[in-house]
Amino acid sequence: MNDNLHQLRCIGCGERIPGADAQPDFRCAHCGELFEVEYPGWGQRRGNDRPNPGALKWLWRERRCSAESIDHSGVWRFRELLPILDSFGNAVTLSEGNTPLYPLLRVSKALGIDQLYAKHQGMNPTGSFKDTGMTAAMSVAKERGFEWVACASTGNTSASMAAYAARAGLRSLVLIPEGKIAWGKLSQAMDYGAVTCQLKADFDGCLSLLTQIVKEAPIYLLNSVNPYRLEGQKTPAFEIAEAFDWNVPDHLIVPGGNLGNSSALGKGFRELHELGLVARMPRISVIQAAGANPLVRSIAENHGSSLEPVEAHTRATAIRIGNPASWRKAARVIQETGGWCLDVTEAEIAIAKAEIGAEGLGCEPASAVTLAGLKKLCAQGKISSSETVVLVLTGHTLKDADYTIDFHRGTLLKDEEKAGLEATIEGLQRNAQVVEATAAAVLATLKGRAG
Ligand code: F0G
């Protein structure tokens, strides 16, 4: 590893170690906290390793027209800001990143926000934001000579890990909570050849078991406790800043599960700011499902100084997590940027998801918490119409087709969950109809559907 350029710093006690010295569970040997990757050269203003902002912006744009496959990656295009490999020739890439930033036309009108965008991370090779982190950490696994990699997952990490392991020629082990992950995601892990174990445990139980396993066998842990995952996952911050010509949006809204993504995006914007590539950081807010809201509680009850795990329940299975590993990092991001941490109900998630679908974009339920959270923030007067807001949509709509179909058929939500929102929900439902195979019958279905 290129330890001259990077080291790991414990976010608890500040201990610094070479990258190769991390324990298999990526916890600090002294205080048990997580590490983050740090680049000491950047701190020395005139140091040789300190990147030059103007030259970097030019180089990153040029790479978009390059013939090199590594330059086609929206992660490795920014490789000067993630010098974690001895050789970039070891990068395992599926051309991840470079995802679209879509204006949300109807929703922005309805909410009275002029500049509202969705950064659609579901448009990655395996359909979720996990690919940006997986390319980074899988490359480290390959460079360090591991044969096996593993993760616990609510579905997307496992899909992504299985794909990247297959590309790297490594074997992969997946631990998932039985019956609690969407079929699309499970099918991906199978298709890409992972050894998939469905356990009678929730995500938190799967992760704690895997932590034991990696201490007993030479298997590389690829959950977001692995700090190299977050190095890849910080790069959408660079793409967003680049898309706004290096003027960051006012507000970024991110779903919160295990809380690696919000931590990573915060790190990305923090580094851009520290290196002088942007003038400030955006406000970063994290939204959780009401049934899986340990960070919301922690921030409300003790300003994020401690976190009490909860038993998690939500149909947004990707974020069905009660004991998030990266909560300290995420709490720091919210606090340093002046963001908020809120939760939203099952009905609010379902409505927001249908509204994102009606924009022609679609996303998975966990991603829709961002729009549901934005609506709450608007209702609380916390966002003004002149602000530029970006929602981070984390997963593709096809990941959880059952959820979508159940919503449109009217079988997703219980009556008590819908209370007071029935008319909104009915207005969004577009159930498929059984129609006689004649032109007249099909045309009759269009009556009353204008606009
Ligand atoms: N959105 C989607 C679609 C996810 O799959 C996840 C997490 C999140 C949001 C939350 O991100 O954990 O970084 O706060 N999925 C993980 C998995 C846990 O195993 O696929 P986070």
Long-range contacts of 355-359 (CB under 8 A, 24+ apart): 355/106, 355/107, 355/428, 356/104, 356/107, 356/118, 356/393, 357/397, 357/404, 358/106, 358/428, 359/102, 359/104, 359/105, 359/106, 359/107, 359/118
Q: Which atom of ligand 1 is nearest to the CA of 264?
A: 13
From 124, 154, 181, 204, the mutation candidate for ligand 1 (largest count of ligand atoms within 8 A of CB) is 154
For ligand 1, say whether the CB of 99 is within 6 Å of any of its atoms. no
For ligand 1, say whether the CB of 258 is within 6 Å of any of its atoms. yes
**Using alpha carbons only, what angle is made at residue 226 by residues 287 and 235, rounded to the nearest 5 degrees?**
60
From 307, 319, 326, 328, the mutation candidate for ligand 1 (largest count of ligand atoms within 8 A of CB) is 319
pLDDT at 449 (0 to 100)? 74
pLDDT at 43 (0 to 100)? 75
For ligand 1, say whether the CB of 128 is within 6 Å of any of its atoms. yes
Residues with Cβ within 8 Å of residue 314, at least 6 apart in sequence = 289, 290, 291, 292, 320, 346, 349
pLDDT at 51 (0 to 100)? 79
Mean pLDDT by 10 residues, the chain (451 residues): 78 96 97 96 70 93 95 97 96 98 97 97 98 98 98 97 98 96 95 97 96 97 98 98 97 98 98 96 98 98 96 97 97 98 98 98 98 98 96 98 98 97 97 95 85 56
For ligand 1, say whether the CB of 322 is within 6 Å of any of its atoms. no
From 261, 329, 392, the mutation candidate for ligand 1 (largest count of ligand atoms within 8 A of CB) is 261
Token couple for 367: 């991603």
pLDDT at 44 (0 to 100)? 62
End-to-end alpha carbon distance in the chain: 58
Is 230:263 a contact under the CB 8 Å cutoff?
yes
pLDDT at 450 (0 to 100)? 57
For ligand 1, say whether the CB of 288 is within 6 Å of any of its atoms. no
- In 3D, which of 171, 178, 176 has the Cα closest to residue 192? 171
pLDDT at 49 (0 to 100)? 67
- In 3D, which of 271, 154, 161 has the Cα closest to residue 206? 154
- In 3D, which of 105, 147, 104, 97 has the Cα closest to residue 122? 97
Q: Which atom of ligand 1 is nearest to the CA of 263?
A: 13
Residue located via tokens 């395992």: 92
pLDDT at 1 (0 to 100)? 45
For ligand 1, say whether the CB of 154 is within 6 Å of any of its atoms. yes
Q: Which atom of ligand 1 is nearest to the CA of 366?
A: 1
pLDDT at 307 (0 to 100)? 98
For ligand 1, say whether the CB of 395 is within 6 Å of any of its atoms. yes
- Output the residue whose Cα is nearest ligand 1's atom 11: 257
Q: Distance (Å, rounded) from C-alpha 307 to C-alpha 325?
A: 10
Q: Distance (Å, rounded) from C-alpha 29 to C-alpha 9?
A: 12
Token couple for 321: 């997590």
What is the bridge-based pairing of β-strands 101-103 and 341-344? unpaired
